[in-house]
């Protein structure tokens, strides 16, 4: 994961937001020692902590240096061992970078996707079935954080767990999260919370694009 230079990203995010280590630690409900350890590379923040830093410091996730493509027409996009719950939320205390998946440069261009801002993660649960299946790989474009109705997004739920849901508005104009699963008794729709943060849009799921 340090290929993404997380330590430098934490420090620059804090400095750009004008926080001391103590101030950032307080907002993260951590100690100054925790933040110091993140910044000098002794430990790495969890994916959820990185998302909280994004929200607190108003920054984006660190961008990775694009790997050498498998061929002239393809690019490798980082694959993270992060699982996003297609239900109420998944807490990712630990994650790893484990290689990547190859995507066509032509397809990415046609879709208007910059691979520099993309990650591959995994869906968990059945609430978004049949669109997203349990364990299915999904491509997240973190540059697409402005909600578009009826598209599927990765969301940090009230600064806690990660969910993937379809976003739309109700008759009053309030944002709601739609579960694609027809069993609404088991998988009800949810209203957005004020502290929810859109991390990016799901743009590919094991061969299905434009969700």
- Mean pLDDT for the chain? 84
CA angle 34, 35, 37 (to 5 degrees): 65
Number of domains comprising the chain: 2
Two structure tokens written together for 67: 């790997």
The CATH number for 23's domain is 1.10.260.40
pLDDT for the residue numbered 25? 94
Residue 202 is assigned to a structural domain of this protein: yes
Which residue segment(s) compose the domain that 29 sits in? 2-57
Q: How far apart are CA 198 and CA 140, in angstroms?
A: 11
**Same structural domain, 52 and 83:** no
Residues 139/42/94/177 CA torsion (nearest 10 deg): -60
pLDDT 10s digits, 155-183: 988 766 889 999 999 999 999 999 999 99
pLDDT for the residue numbered 98? 63
Which among 177, 158, 174 is positioned nearest to 86, based on CA atoms?
A: 177
Residue 155 is assigned to a structural domain of this protein: yes
* C-alpha 64: how far from chain center: 14
Are the C-beta atoms of 201 and 166 separated by less than 8 Å? no
**Same structural domain, 30 and 98:** no
**Same structural domain, 33 and 89:** no
Two structure tokens written together for 143: 């540059």
pLDDT for the residue numbered 151? 96
pLDDT for the residue numbered 3? 42
The CATH number for 142's domain is 2.10.109.10
pTM: 0.72
pLDDT 10s digits, 112-138: 999 888 989 888 889 999 999 888 889
Q: Which stretch of 92-96, 98-102, 109-113, 175-179 has the lowest confidence by average pLDDT?
A: 92-96
């Amino acid at each position: 994961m340090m290929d993404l230079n997380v330590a430098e990203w934490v420090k620059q995010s804090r400095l750009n937001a004008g926080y001391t280590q103590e101030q950032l630690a307080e907002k993260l409900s951590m100690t100054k020692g925790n933040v110091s350890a993140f910044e000098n590379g002794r430990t790495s923040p969890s994916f959820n902590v990185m998302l909280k830093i994004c929200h607190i410091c108003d920054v984006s996730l660190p961008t990775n240096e694009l790997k050498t493509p498998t061929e002239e027409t393809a690019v490798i996009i980082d694959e993270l061992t992060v699982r996003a719950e297609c239900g109420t939320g998944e807490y990712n205390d630990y994650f790893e970078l484990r290689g990547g998946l190859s995507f066509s440069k032509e397809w990415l261009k046609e879709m208007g996707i910059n691979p520099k801002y993309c990650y591959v993660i995994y869906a968990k649960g059945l609430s978004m079935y049949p669109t997203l299946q349990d364990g299915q790989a999904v491509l997240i474009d973190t540059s697409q954080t402005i909600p578009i109705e009826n598209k599927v997004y990765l969301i940090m739920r009230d600064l806690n767990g990660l969910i993937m849901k379809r976003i739309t508005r109700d008759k009053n104009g309030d944002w709601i999260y739609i579960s694609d699963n027809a069993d609404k008794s088991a998988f009800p729709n949810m209203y957005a919370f004020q502290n929810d943060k859109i991390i990016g849009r799901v743009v590919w799921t094991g061969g299905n694009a434009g969700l």
